[in-house]
A and B are shown apart, each in its own frame.
Chain A
């Protein structure tokens, strides 16, 4: 088995009438299991598209997407949904918690559909929300909500944790705390975490940094000595 995650010449071309707009124009990269990966790039570079494809939310026009030995690039509707539910944990910029459910219930919501879930309360405890588990999202702060979201993603026990600008809607300190949580999760659980951000500053904390520009990987580097997030300032 080669790499845990490997993208080969992945392309996503949107056909708008007669004009073809390539959002992703032949991306190649690979990620090893248990890595903390940061994908950076300016707005519109195609990083979100990559994330969508990687997260099974979208399909690529051509190319191969290998995740844990399976080419999800060839998956369709239901296979993709199964892939999402079993292999992927997703953390949104805007948390996307179900407003009508408490923190605990939001986590449980995800567990409903999993084959091999973790204990919801335990996960909440790990993300530090032990005392807030019965609160509704509206009663939680942004950071708490994002923690809940991370808990929801982690509780599914996924192979891959994808985070789309997880700190985008949070203040500096909270953002740092969330990144810390993600890094810790990676380190402690051996979870492969991919964070998408436009914030170059957090690159040093990653095991691997992939820079995307104009729909191509402009640079990919392995960071031999990732630093702890606490040491990074931006």
Chain B
């Protein structure tokens, strides 16, 4: 568009009619989204799986040999062209015992290069006693990390022949791409179905050959699995590997033969060894007997020795007792003596006391005498003193006389001197001689003093004369005193003398008593000393006794020891004897047994020889991924989605194209005048048309882009996540944009819309402008067919007539609306119908077919007694209303083509089976009985196998057992496959009575608590392997089918969207087209309600017709979807419930009503003035 004005006008047009633009965009988006989205689901599912397989390097094929595979085989296979890698692995199905459960496990060696384990928790095993458990076991709560699991052989082989380690610690849990779903397939052991796998170190396996060799193909990784290219590549490789099969098998055969021979030789040698061993054991037994006799002899000696020792001890004991008596006597004597001593001491003590008393008396006597004596001695002293005094006085008188004489001498001398002096002084000097001269000088000096001296001397002479008189008086007094004293002395002296004599006699008697007492005291002391010595001696004796006693005790202990030793020896001997007896018995037994074993061994050797001779040439099975159950199932599921993708989106696409066409046509019609004007102005056809074509192109292209991105991102993700509930191991969902579908869908959508636009303007562009400027003649009214049916037409009210005419008048709108509403109805019906069908699996299966409440599995290894115990308990249990034994085992059922896994059920009583399981035709409800003529197959199994009543199928339990049976009836069944067989037929086919391994129960109650109680009680029986309730299974089924809910929601949402877009669009067009007419009606006085009723009456009619048509379409679609979407294990219900019809119709009406409701406002907005305008 070079013209600016036109360009501007184009943008304005889009802005003005954004509703229309968006509705084209949206319907295109919806169509493309569904088309591309649903179609992309299949490749996306494949891609997601392929990425998972590549990531874990899932093998492309594996080779199993009937005689196992060897390292040499692996080498040979590796050399085959196109083989990228090989990995030999061990895999054995074994029982795994957890604390209280037994599981059927596929024990596999830890893979290295391929089939890598995706560790979800913990780690891979690193030691021999570690293992990695199936993550499924962990999530279903059967075990947890750190648990110990013990493996046991599930076949006749010894566990130790299979593995060299029986107990493993679970160190990790993981998943493998080999098992994408929760199903683990069947096994030949136990209940027949595997519970999970267990990964252990390769060195755990004891076998000398591998179970299988896994192979990846060169170039396969780059290809997407499930595609033709991939299948071709792998098929070619299979052929090349099969080419070397013959050669390898020959080698293997020879090897087995050689090994077998060797083994037989070994076994023979072993038999010989065994015999030798038996002989050795005999010898050993003899030796033991001799040893026993020796021991007995030794014991007798010991006994004698003990007796001697005891006698000796008795003697010693007696001696000791005597000594003890003596000491005891000594003690009593001592005590007596001591007592006497105490008494004597007491007496002496008393004696002393008396002595003291008497002595005190004597002393008192002496004391009384003492003053008298004193007086006496005083008197005598007085006498002495008086005598002395008299003497002294006489001496004094004498002295005084001497003094008087001296004074007279002196007085004479002085008289002498004075006479001289006067002499001399009277002599004249010259007559004086010298001597006279000197004498005169001295006399001259002394002469003055002579008078005083003479005075003094005269005085003194008087004094002395006085003194002399005093003394003479004293002498007289004393003489008187002396006489007095002499008189007192004479009186006192005789008294004193008498008393003193008396006292002296008493003192002497006392002294005598004291001497005697002292002697007694000494005696007592001596006695005491003696007693002390005796005591000392006794103590010593006692000490000695204690020693003796100790020695005796020692002796006694020694004796006791000796006795004990003897007793022990006796016990030992008894034990030895017993043991010997046992050994002997054992030996006898072993002898018998060994002989039997040896005999058996000999038979076995013979058998082995025979077997070896019979050994068949081995064969290889080269199995590609088509033999991996989940791989195939997943592929089928992808194909099913693909099939749905073929049909479903086409509805959307058609609707989208039709809606676009009408919308564009209407747009061109509306702009008739404008086209005319442009034409009149001289614009070329191309320029004018380009607006509409571009409008269509732009809206559809944008819609397509939106649709294909949203569709391819959301829809496959939703669908695959729904499937992930089943294929829970699938890690990532890849939803790349698929160029093929993107381009196809977008191209178809865009070209449809654009072509519609082009077609719409084509007619108008060819008209002359003048014509275009005139209003288009209104479409003429016409009589409709119905009017000719008079009786009917007359019954219609006026408005109904008008509505019918209007419908017929706008045929395009009629069909489009019917188609839109029909599509909506059909989708809803498919959605709800799918839900019905799925629900019917649960309801039909567990309501109409499996009417029992639970099963009690009987342990395969339980013995007769344990089985009996369980049977008794079940029979008397009042909670269990009905019970019946049956055999339930996994079988593969084969007709032509691939075998299918199923369960074979053989009831104990054919008549009673009906209490637990209804065998009946799904459609007619005809009831079937089991008889000896043929088996009853479940419906889906029969259909998968392609067999009908009267055909023959092969039942395989494992490779060795295969029987053929005629199909008598086909019975209703929705979940899993079953084969029912009468006891009679089983016996004739298998040549043995069925071994019951299951109890069917019908209980009085079905609540969870009751069932848990029952389970807890019964699981404790040795004979019970598991207790299962239908309620549990029903829940599992419900869980599994939840995946379908999502798809249903998608469908319902899609239906709603479809209905809304289509109806809104068409109603919009309808109202726009009839704007004038509606305005005129308003002017005529129609209320808004009546105006919309006028329009809606048509819509309601269209909705009703559309719903009817949709119901038909829906039934067809539902049937198609059911048949393509159901997985092999399930059969969906075929019928859609009335409620679903009701819901679908109601929802369709609701959608329709919603749109009409929205239109009401649009109608109200119509301006009445419109009616006054001229026709454009």
List A residues at the B interface (Cβ < 8 Å): 48, 52, 55, 57-58, 77-78, 81-86, 88, 90, 92-94, 96, 98-102, 105, 108-110, 112-113, 136-139, 152, 156, 164
B residues less than 8 Å from A138 (CB atoms): 777-778, 780-781
Min CB distance B1082 to A, Å, is: 7
A-B pair count, CB < 8 Å, reads: 98
Task: Give Cα A100 to B1082, complex, Å.
Answer: 17
Which of chain B's residues 882-940 have a Cβ closer than 8 Å to chain A?
Answer: none
Min CB distance A136 to B, Å, is: 4
B1084 and A101 within 8 A (CB):
no
A105 and B801 within 8 A (CB):
yes
Whether B1088 is near chain A, meaning CB under 8 Å from some CB there, is yes
Task: Give Cα A85 to B1090, complex, Å.
Answer: 12
B residues less than 8 Å from A57 (CB atoms): 1082-1083, 1168-1169
Complex: chain A residue closest to B797, CB-CB: A112
Of B416-424, B484-492, B542-550, B802-810, the segment with at least 4 beta carbons within 8 Å of chain A is: B802-810
The interface on chain B, measured as residues whose beta carbon lies within 8 A of the other chain's beta carbons, has a size of 33
A113 and B777 within 8 A (CB):
no
Q: A52-B1169, A109-B798, A164-B1172 are in contact. Are A99 and B778 (CB under 8 A)?
A: yes
Complex: chain B residue closest to A51, CB-CB: B1172
Most interface-central of B777, B780, B1175 (chain A CB within 10 A): B780
B1077 and A81 within 8 A (CB):
no
Task: Give Cα A98 to B777, complex, Å.
Answer: 13
B1083 in complex: contacting residue of A78, A86, A90, A137, CB < 8 Å = A90
A112 and B809 within 8 A (CB):
no
11 pairs, CB–CB < 8 Å, chain A vs chain B? A52-B1168, A58-B1169, A78-B1087, A81-B1088, A84-B1084, A85-B1086, A100-B802, A100-B809, A110-B1084, A110-B1085, A137-B781
Min CB distance B1091 to A, Å, is: 9
B residues less than 8 Å from A100 (CB atoms): 781, 802, 805-806, 809
Task: Give Cα A130 to B576, complex, Å.
Answer: 141
The interface residues of chain B, by DSSP majority, are classed as helix
Min CB distance A41 to B, Å, is: 15
Complex: chain B residue closest to A78, CB-CB: B1087
B1080 and A85 within 8 A (CB):
no
A81 and B778 within 8 A (CB):
no
B residues less than 8 Å from A152 (CB atoms): 1084
Complex: chain A residue closest to B779, CB-CB: A99
A109 and B1172 within 8 A (CB):
no
Interface string of B797-834 (1 = CB under 8 A from A): 01101100110010000000000000000000000000
Min CB distance B51 to A, Å, is: 61
A residues less than 8 Å from B1087 (CB atoms): 78, 81-82, 85
A88 and B1085 within 8 A (CB):
yes
Complex: chain A residue closest to B1076, CB-CB: A96
Most interface-central of A52, A78, A92 (chain B CB within 10 A): A92
Whether B1174 is near chain A, meaning CB under 8 Å from some CB there, is yes
B residues less than 8 Å from A96 (CB atoms): 1076-1077, 1079-1080, 1083, 1171
A108 in complex: contacting residue of B782, B798, B1169, CB < 8 Å = B798
B798 and A112 within 8 A (CB):
yes
List B residues at the A interface (Cβ < 8 Å): 777-782, 798-799, 801-802, 805-806, 809, 1076-1077, 1079-1088, 1090, 1168-1169, 1171-1175
Complex: chain B residue closest to A97, CB-CB: B1080
B residues less than 8 Å from A93 (CB atoms): 1172, 1174
Task: Give Cα A14 to B148, complex, Å.
Answer: 91
B residues less than 8 Å from A78 (CB atoms): 1087
Min CB distance A220 to B, Å, is: 24
B residues less than 8 Å from A77 (CB atoms): 1088
Q: A93-B1172, A164-B1172 are in contact. Are A102 and B1090 (CB under 8 A)?
A: no
Most interface-central of B1080, B1083, B1174 (chain A CB within 10 A): B1083
B806 and A92 within 8 A (CB):
no
B residues less than 8 Å from A94 (CB atoms): 1173-1175
A residues less than 8 Å from B809 (CB atoms): 99-100
Complex: chain B residue closest to A165, CB-CB: B1172
Task: Give Cα A229 to B766, complex, Å.
Answer: 45
A residues less than 8 Å from B806 (CB atoms): 100
Most interface-central of B1076, B1080, B1090, B1175 (chain A CB within 10 A): B1080
Min CB distance A158 to B, Å, is: 9
A92 and B781 within 8 A (CB):
no
B residues less than 8 Å from A105 (CB atoms): 798, 801-802
A113 and B1085 within 8 A (CB):
yes
Task: Give Cα A78 to B1079, complex, Å.
Answer: 15
Complex: chain B residue closest to A80, CB-CB: B1085
Complex: chain A residue closest to B1083, CB-CB: A90
B residues less than 8 Å from A52 (CB atoms): 1168-1169, 1172
Min CB distance B1076 to A, Å, is: 6
B residues less than 8 Å from A84 (CB atoms): 1082-1085
A residues less than 8 Å from B1173 (CB atoms): 94
Task: Give Cα A104 to B1175, complex, Å.
Answer: 23
Min CB distance A196 to B, Å, is: 10
A residues less than 8 Å from B778 (CB atoms): 99, 137-138
In the complex, besides A92-B1080, A102-B781, 8 extra interface pairs with C-beta distance below 8 angstroms are: A52-B1168, A52-B1172, A83-B1085, A101-B781, A105-B802, A136-B781, A136-B782, A152-B1084
B782 and A55 within 8 A (CB):
no
A99 in complex: contacting residue of B780, B799, B1079, B1088, CB < 8 Å = B780
Task: Give Cα A64 to B1169, complex, Å.
Answer: 21
Q: 7 tightest CB-CB pairs across the interface, nearest first?
A: A85-B1085, A138-B780, A96-B1080, A136-B781, A84-B1085, A100-B781, A57-B1168
B799 in complex: contacting residue of A86, A90, A112, CB < 8 Å = A112
